[in-house]
Structure formats: C-alpha cells, structure tokens
Chain A
Amino acid sequence: MSMDELLNPFESTGRFILKTVDELGSLTIYLWESVFSIFRYSINFGNLIDQMVFIGMDSFYVIGLTGLFTGMVLSLQAYYVTKIVGVTYMIGPMVALSMTRELGPVLTALMITARCGSSMASEIGTMKVTEQIDALEVMAVDPYYYLSVPRILAATIMLPVMTILCSLIGITGGYIVYAYFLGLNHIVYIEKIYQYIKVGDIYSGLLKAVFFGIILATISTFKGFATTGGSKGVGRFTTQAVVLSSVYILFADYIFTSIFFK
C-alpha cells in the first residue's frame, strides 16, 4: 500500500469497491460462459468423473478428520455451557444443528477450497503460462468447456455429498465425546437429535453446499485462466483463488443463513 492510499482512505476504499464489482462482473460472465458451453457441446464424462473422484474420494480423510474434531470440540464446548443451566441433554441437537446448518457446509467448502481449489487454479494457471491453454484453443477445443465445466460440475455435485459426510462424522465425533469422555447417556444424545432436527435444517445446509461448490470452482478456475507472469504468477493467482473463494464462501454463508432464518 502506498502512502497516498494510507492518507486517502476514501479513494482506496472506492478503488477497492470498483475492483470488487468489476471482478464480480467478470466472474458472473465467466460462469455464464462455462455453463452455456455445457449446452453447446456434450459433457465429457471422463473428465467429470476424474474431477469428482479428486474432489470426493481423495478428500475423504481431510473432510473426515475435519468433521470428527469439529464435532468433538462442539460437544465439549456445548457441555461447558449446558451444564451451567443443567440441560446437557441438549448437547446432541446443538452439535447436530451446528454441523448440518453451518459448520458442515462451511468447513467442507473451506477444506475443499484449500485442497482442490488451489490445485484447480495452479493446474490451469500452469497450463496458461506454458501455452497449453493456447494449444487447446488452436486445436479448436474450448478450454472453458474442457477445463472449467467438469470442475464446476464436479464441485457442485460433490460438495453436498462431502458435506453430508462431514456432518455425519461430526455428529459421531460429538457422540464419542458425549458418551465416552463425558460419560453421559448415549441414547439421550440420539433421541434429542431426532426430536429437534428438522429436514429443513439438512436441506438448508445442502443447498449452501451446492452454492459453495459453484463459488469455489468458479473462482478457482477463473483465477487459473487469469494467470500471467510465469511460475511466480501461478503462485500469486493460486493464493488469490484460495483467499477469494474463502471470503466469498463466508460471505455467501451469511447471506444464506439470514435468508433461511426468515
């Protein structure tokens, strides 16, 4: 940041807003072009399956561990609060609702951004700076169709699946702490979850996951295609992809939650 920007916060804020709006515009056009190209050509199932495996199967352990520890810590924290007012039977619903509505989708999306978004951006970015994208174009293969569509589709399909997994393992982690570490009645944990959790809680989480998938894959592939400046550029744009995806996911999460609460 230059001295001028420090001295003139309005100007730099204005510039930041303009840049953000401009970028949002380009992202929307890019997403539109990518989605549109699905209808222009047929879907390349080979590429789609590869990406689904990469986002799904290969992320199993990361997502599993994330869910497990989050559920366990939620259970402990919930105990700390509920025991004050003597309602420890509410630990189950607290863990389950937090996981399905909020933490499952958000943490899954953030972990997949770190793991797969970064590699989408760096893979496409490397292809860009080594002219492999140009080579695709020259061979009359639409690079958006060939590279973006399978990634965006795969993320859109796999994010809800991985979110279910994350939430389930999280609830199980909470159960382990509840039943074994805290020594509370494990039947109560499950009973109360059934009593308090509604189908809508699960759906709202999965709907979020769908959108987070679109967001992270769109931004990450977009940043890949935007890469310039050799290997240093690949690093820079990959970082941008991860940071921007994460911020947009958290922002979108707030928007969704505020809509669902109404």
Chain B
Amino acid sequence: MIILERLTKSFNGIKVLNNLNIKFGEQKITVVIGRSGGGKSVMLKHIIGLMRPDSGRVLINGIDINTLKRKELNEIRKKFGMVFQDGALFDSINIFENIAFPVRQHTKLRESEVKDRVYSMLGDVGLSGQELKMPAEISGGMRKRVGVARALILNPEIVLFDEPTTGLDPITSDAISNLIIAMHNKFKFTGILISHDIAGAYKMGNIIAMLYNGFIIETGCPEDIKASNNPVVNQFVAGSMNGPIDFNMV
C-alpha cells in the first residue's frame, strides 16, 4: 500500500505540491491526471524517493521512505519499476542490454537465463527482433515499449508510469495503453500512472485522481469522474478553455 500524507514541496518559493493526500489501491491502476507543469512528475518522484518532501510523508507498506538509509531505500526500490516520460533508456547500450540491465544488477542468473527472460519480455511488449538496435535508432512508441519492458523485467510489485502515452500519435498511444493493460493483467502490479490524456486514463485506470493546485481534488472510478460535479474536473475532462481553471498560468 502506498500512501502520500500531507505532502508539500516548493521550488523557488512556489508550492508545487500543497498538502497532497492520496492512497493507491493494491494491484489497481490509479491514473493521476492534471495539467502540464501541475506537479505530477514531482509527485511520482516523491513516491520513489528521487525527491524529498518539504513536509509530509511517503508511506510504502507502512514505512516512511524518507527516514530510511540509502541501502534500506534501495531495498524498497527493488519493489518498483518505473517508466520515464522520455524513456531514460541507457543510450550507450542496445535494447537487449537495456532490458537486461536490472536483471544483471540484481540477480545472479546465468547468461542463458538472462537471455530467456529478456527474450520472453521482448515478446510480451512486441519488440521481438529489435533487441540489437540502439535506443537512438528506434521510434518513440518503441522506446516506450522498451521502457515498459525494462520496468517490468524483475516483476515488480509497483510500477510507476510517467505519461506513457504523451507525445505519441493516437494509434501508437492506444497501442501503448493496450500494452499496459495487458501487462497489468499478466503481472498484477500496483500501477500509478500519470497522464493528461483523458481517453487513455479512462481506458487504463481503475481509479482516476485529479491533481490540481498541488493537491488531489477528486478521486473515483472513471464513471465517478465522468459524473463529477466539480467544475474544475469537468473543465479538465472536457478540455475546455471556459471554467474555473486559469489557463493564463500555464
């Protein structure tokens, strides 16, 4: 269980997260939606300890990760996989080695076993035959697939996705959404996915939460969000210029 408790974080005197509270359900995909620059990535980085809050707590299975020593934090991190917005693939090694990297770092499997695992994962994410290419040689959609494969290769309990469908054409974007759903059905991880893609959110999310002004203003299943009577949520979901959200601030 992951709980964010009264999380507050400022950059240069501006509060990006302001008393944010949320619980993420186990083995569900929770999609956090919100505007670009609204602090979604910052929230995600707090969950995995890449950023430390100014105040508030990040509880993973009851443990406040910001009280941990580096080694203890690393033990917790082994439960996680993360898909970065721009992939963050290691650009000096090929696709195969990118996906094999966590396996080589954290298991003592023999080379043949590493190969089996990576090839099976390559099949799962639809990248069979691409393994010898370098990250710079593949398309945006394929990079996302590699990111997903690398995040899932150690079968983590929790997977964080930072805008997995942003910047892709609608068809590729839908293919990645389907991939995430398929992987979720197969591996049963707790998924935390941030996005401003409403269609994808409805499709992938068991729960949808909206981040606005530094905190979560609404949580619910997709139907609840569609039926929300919060004007901010309505405006965001409708993608409209008219409403309480001040777009001059963007």
- List residues of chain A with CB under 8 Å of any chain B CB: 40, 123, 126-127, 130-132, 134-135, 137-142
B84, A139: Cβ atoms under 8 Å?
Answer: no
Query: Residue A131 contacts which of B48, B49, B78, B88 (CB distance < 8 angstroms)?
Result: B88
A130, B86: Cβ atoms under 8 Å?
Answer: yes
Check: B187 CB closer than 8 A to any chain A CB. Answer: no
Known contacts A140-B74, A141-B105; is A135 also within 8 Å of B90 by CB?
A: yes
Check: B77 CB closer than 8 A to any chain A CB. Answer: yes
A140, B88: Cβ atoms under 8 Å?
Answer: no
Contacts of B88 in A (CB 8 A): 130-132, 134-135
Q: Nearest-CB distance from A221 to chain B (Å)? A: 16
B77, A138: Cβ atoms under 8 Å?
Answer: yes
A140, B50: Cβ atoms under 8 Å?
Answer: no
Contacts of A123 in B (CB 8 A): 92
- A-B residue pairs in contact (CB < 8 Å), sample of 9: A134-B88, A135-B84, A137-B50, A138-B50, A138-B77, A139-B106, A140-B75, A141-B105, A142-B70
Q: Taking chain B's interface residues, is the majority helix, strand, or loop, or is none over half, making it mixed?
A: mixed
Q: How far is the CA of A40 from the CA of B82 in the complex (A)?
A: 25
Check: B71 CB closer than 8 A to any chain A CB. Answer: yes
Most chain B CB within a 10 A radius of its CB, from A40, A123, A126, A134: A134
Q: Nearest-CB distance from A194 to chain B (Å)? A: 47
Residues of B in contact (CB 8 Å), total 24
Q: Nearest-CB distance from A32 to chain B (Å)? A: 14
Contacts of A131 in B (CB 8 A): 84-86, 88
Query: Residue B77 contacts which of A126, A127, A140 (CB distance < 8 angstroms)?
Result: A140
A134, B105: Cβ atoms under 8 Å?
Answer: no
Q: How far is the CA of A141 from the CA of B75 in the complex (A)?
A: 10
A134, B78: Cβ atoms under 8 Å?
Answer: no
Check: B80 CB closer than 8 A to any chain A CB. Answer: yes
Query: Residue B101 contacts which of A40, A126, A139, A142 (CB distance < 8 angstroms)?
Result: A139
B70, A132: Cβ atoms under 8 Å?
Answer: no
Check: B25 CB closer than 8 A to any chain A CB. Answer: no
Query: Residue B91 contacts which of A40, A130, A137, A140 (CB distance < 8 angstroms)?
Result: A130
Known contacts A130-B91, A131-B88, A132-B91; is A138 also within 8 Å of B78 by CB?
A: no
Most chain A CB within a 10 A radius of its CB, from B71, B74, B85, B88: B88
A142, B74: Cβ atoms under 8 Å?
Answer: yes
Contacts of A135 in B (CB 8 A): 82, 84, 88-90
Q: Nearest-CB distance from B2 to chain A (Å)? A: 15
Q: How far is the CA of A135 from the CA of B92 in the complex (A)?
A: 14
Return the 6 tightest CB-CB contacts between A and B, nearest first. A131-B88, A140-B74, A135-B88, A140-B77, A138-B82, A140-B78
Q: How far is the CA of A135 from the CA of B89 in the complex (A)?
A: 8
Most chain B CB within a 10 A radius of its CB, from A126, A132, A137, A139: A139
B91, A134: Cβ atoms under 8 Å?
Answer: no
Please provide the chain B residues from 197 to 250 with a CB less than 8 Å away from any CB of chain A in the complex.
none
Q: Nearest-CB distance from B137 to chain A (Å)? A: 16
Contacts of B45 in A (CB 8 A): 134
Q: Chain B: which residue is nearest A141 at the CB level?
A: B105
